[in-house]
Amino acid sequence: MEQLKKIGTIQPKRSSDIQSSKISLGFEKLDRDVFDPRKAYDKVAECGVKKVRLQSGWARTEKEKGVYDFAWLDEIVDNFVQRSIEPWICLCYGNPLYTEAAKQVFGAVGCPPIFTEEEKTAWISYVKAVVRRYKGKVNYFEVWNEPDGTWCWKHGVNATELGEFTLETARAVKEENPDAKTIGGVVCLRALSFLNTAFKTGMGEYLDFISFHEYTHDERNVFEKVESYRALAKRYNPNIELIQGESGSQSKGNGHGALWTGAWTEEIQAKQLARHTIADLLTDVHFTSYFSCMDMIEALNGDINNKASYLDYGYFGILGADFDEDGRSTGEYYRKPSYYVLQNICSVFAEKFSLCKQPIFVHSEYSNRIFDNQLHRYEMISGSFEREGGKAFVYWYPSNIMTTSYRSLLTMEFYTEYRDIKLIDVMDGSIYEIPENLLEDKGDGVYIIRELPVKDTPLILTFGDFLI
């Protein structure tokens, strides 16, 4: 980066400064009351996300049959709406009032109400009550969470059961609010057969979206998954689109949950967030949600009679926390490096944009600066975006973030109708001008930039007024 001229930094946008965004943040597990949301509201709003994912918490809301106490969820929804953030709700989990197995499970996680008519009727009544209560505030409703994992379908994963359950739940959402958007699938494992079997029940009839979860240290996996799920879903309902509902990584090793075996650090977590989030944008999902706002217990396999069974700490948060003796997140909820990276991405990709193609050649030329040939385009992840007044080309080298810090160079020839060209580093928010000695004007809108930096994290070459 030393050959470039730094001319500024990204100006962070609050959620209230942004009208539209494809970036969401997880605010899950409050159905189990595992952290204090009041200490997180403002920090989330300052990050610039426009959506947050909540879990509805049937067991926390209905503790007496037919009586709903939404006070806890009202506070969360209203606090976000006041901060110009739209909550979307995952309808979950079970309820010990109706399901015997749920009486032993912390938060009734993974105990779907599908066995008796009383369970089914109570669930549909609850779903309609949630949709009715938050009409005008919550528009997206997701059916259950990770039903292809045994932790969330504890009696044994069954795609047909999930399909029938989703069909009835989505139908109930639409009956209560025809304008609401419904989300199904919510799958976390790589099994097309599971989703296909669920679709064969007619599940897609009332669905607007399929969501999926992709926890990976290698974001190249994202492209195949989105392409496959999108193609499968559209075989059953051509109007269904995709949402990436959870992705993330931990900021330290020896945690619990997805990717727990990795030797994670705060720096590696920030890199993973940047690469995965922008990869999601390149797949053109409806929106992408990072898990999560907070370090917290996983609490997916807890026994209510054994506290130790749910003191399983996960370090996925962009906000760090300590923990009390009950596993509740405490402290000041400090901002990790990943927080600032997400803030930068939210600011760069604020408002509407779309994928596009640009006339760009990447030339692999020998460079004395690295004593080697520069990169070919096929060695990188790259793509282009456009909005009124500007375009952008994003690229990075997908090295193994667990073992390698990488930098190199590239030379690119391109056509652009815009003369104002800048380079943005989403990791620290730096904005650079391309110096004249690196930029050759070939005439009629064609330019060559020589020895442009390449990193193992996204760099964004902007043309015109893409950064707004």
Q: For residues 76 and 181, state if they share a domain.
A: yes
Nearest to 256 by CA among 352, 327, 349: 327
411 shares its domain with 313 = no
Are 306 and 386 in the same domain?
A: no
Which pLDDT tens digit goes with each residue over 272-309? Answer: 999 999 999 999 999 999 999 999 999 999 999 999 99
Single out the residue in 304, 319, 348 at which a domain terminates.
Answer: 348
Give the total number of structural domains in the chain: 2
DSSP β-ladder status, 360-363 and 407-415:
antiparallel
Please check whether residues 360 and 340 belong to one and the same domain.
Answer: no
Which pair of tokens denotes residue 185? 């699938």
Q: What is the dihedral of CA 330, 333, 338, 343, to 10 degrees?
A: 140
Answer yes or no: is 307 within a domain.
yes
Answer yes or no: do 138 and 236 share one domain: yes
Q: What pLDDT score does 276 carry?
A: 99
Looking up residue 131, the CATH number of its domain turns out to be 3.20.20.80
Q: What is the CATH number of the domain that holds 402?
A: 2.60.40.1180
Are 315 and 420 contained in the same domain? no
* Residue bearing tokens 């605010």: 27
pLDDT in tens, 10-19: 999 999 999 9
Q: Do 323 and 368 have their domain in common?
A: no
DSSP string, 84-123: T-EEEEEE----TTT-GGGGGBGGGTT--S-SSHHHHHHH
Q: Which residues contact 372 (CB under 8 A, 6 or more apart)?
A: 366, 408
The pLDDT, as a whole number, for residue 372 is 96
Residue 1 is predicted with a pLDDT of 79
Same domain, 344 and 378: no
Q: Which of 327, 348, 369 represents a domain boundary (last residue)?
A: 348
Question: Are 341 and 386 members of one domain?
Answer: no
Indicate if 303 and 251 belong to the same structural domain: yes
Confirm whether 213 is domain-assigned.
yes
List CB contacts of 339: < 8 A, sequence separation 6 or more: 43, 47, 318, 319
pLDDT value of residue 2: 82
pLDDT in 10s for each residue of the chain, 468 residues:
788 999 999 999 999 999 999 999 999 999 999 999 999 999 999 999 999 999 999 999 999 999 999 999 999 999 999 999 999 999 999 999 999 999 999 999 999 999 999 999 999 999 999 999 999 999 999 999 999 999 999 999 999 999 999 999 999 999 999 999 999 999 999 889 999 999 999 999 999 999 999 999 999 999 999 999 999 999 999 999 999 999 999 999 999 999 999 999 999 999 999 999 999 999 999 999 999 999 999 999 999 999 999 999 999 999 999 999 999 999 999 999 999 999 999 999 999 999 999 999 999 999 999 999 999 999 999 999 999 999 999 999 999 999 999 999 999 999 999 989 999 999 999 999 999 999 999 999 999 999 999 999 999 999 999 999
Q: What is the pLDDT of residue 15?
A: 99
Sign of CA dihedral 43, 45, 51, 52: positive
User: Which domain, by its residues, includes 456?
Assistant: 353-464
201 and 155 assigned to the same domain: yes
Residue 93 preceded by cis peptide, ω within 30: yes
pTM of the model: 0.97
Q: How far apart are CA 130 and CA 138, in angstroms?
A: 10
Report the greatest alpha carbon distance in the chain. Answer: 75
What are 141's two structure tokens? 């409703």
Tokens 């990717």 label which residue?
A: 259
- The answer as to whether 229 is a domain residue is yes
Return the structure tokens found at 2.
């030393």
Asked if residue 358 and residue 228 are part of one domain, the reply reads no
Given 298, 333, 348, the domain boundary residue is: 348
